[in-house]
Amino acid sequence: MKVKLRIWRQEDARSAGRLVDYALDDVSPDMSFLEMLDVLNERLVAQGEEPVAFDHDCREGICGTCSLVIDGIAHGPRRATTTCQLHMRHYEDGATITVEPFRARAFPLLKDLTVDRSSFDRIMAAGGFISVNTGGAQDANAILVGKEEADLAMDAAACIGCGACVAACPNAAAMLFVSAKVGHLAHLPQGQPERQRRVLGMVGQMDKEGFGTCRNYYECEAVCPKEIPVRFIGEMNKEWRQAALDYGEQ
């Protein structure tokens, strides 16, 4: 099949970027979207043009490295699908496809389609853990977790940290990501002792990083490749309010 591509090219954070047109006429419907970009890159190298830089690694939808806004939608048109798991069979022959990076103030662009998502790591370092040193843990079955609660924790923990929620949000809010992290531990007995410190720390860091505020557009839930539900945002807001009251305005 044939496709026309309009791809965002930008040398580095300081340069101006632009959409550049490319055409491919030997695309197989069985290719993944990234394999289609591989084909483009091989051709660019052959023509003496620098390949398009994009982030990717596991190519099986779990590492959260791949990104891309495809025709205006983070991770493209398929529900619950990362870009690396999107296949060309879902496109019409002759389709024009626009490819842009995840855009957000807190995700500065590095080159072409590659952005810096280290703000997520800093949010995690501000409280996204249980303070337990290696060794000295009690027998695992001494902590009972009912299946329903364990399943809820797992629903939240399934977040792959890709940042699509931020890219999709008109305000570039990171609420779905942060709430998934907060929700995962809040639903487990092990997470209780630091519950309030955690939510205050992580939300505080989120604000410092320059993410926007949540206005309930729910675009995040719509694009989330792991279908993390927005209910976790509601839960986090409740967690945060209680913690802020208990700790006083900090």
Site for another protein in 131-160 (CB under 8 A): 131-135, 137-141, 143-147, 150, 153-154, 157-158, 160
For the chain, the first-to-last Cα distance in angstroms comes to: 58
Coil vs helix vs strand at 6: strand
**Nearest approach, Cβ of 215 to another protein (angstroms)?**
27
**Which 207-246 residues touch another protein, going by CB under 8 A?**
none
Contact 241, 198 (CB under 8 A): no
Query: What is the DSSP annotation of 116-140?
Result: --HHHHHHHHTT-S----SS-PPPG
| Minimum gap (Å) between residue 112 Cβ and another protein | 8
Cα separation, 129 vs 120, in Å, equals: 13
Which CA distances in Å does 219 have to 20, 68, 92, 135, 155? 27, 16, 25, 42, 18
**Taking contact as CB under 8 A, which single stretch among the options 55-63, 96-104, 167-175, 241-249 is the one that binds another protein?**
55-63
Report in angstroms how near the CB of residue 217 gets to another protein at its nearest.
26
Task: Looking at residues 70 to 109 of the shown chain, list those that interact with another protein (rule: CB under 8 A).
Answer: 81, 85, 87, 89
Mask 28-47, x = binds another protein (CB under 8 A)?
Answer: xxxxx-xx--xx-xx--xx-
Q: Does 60 bind another protein (CB under 8 A)?
A: yes
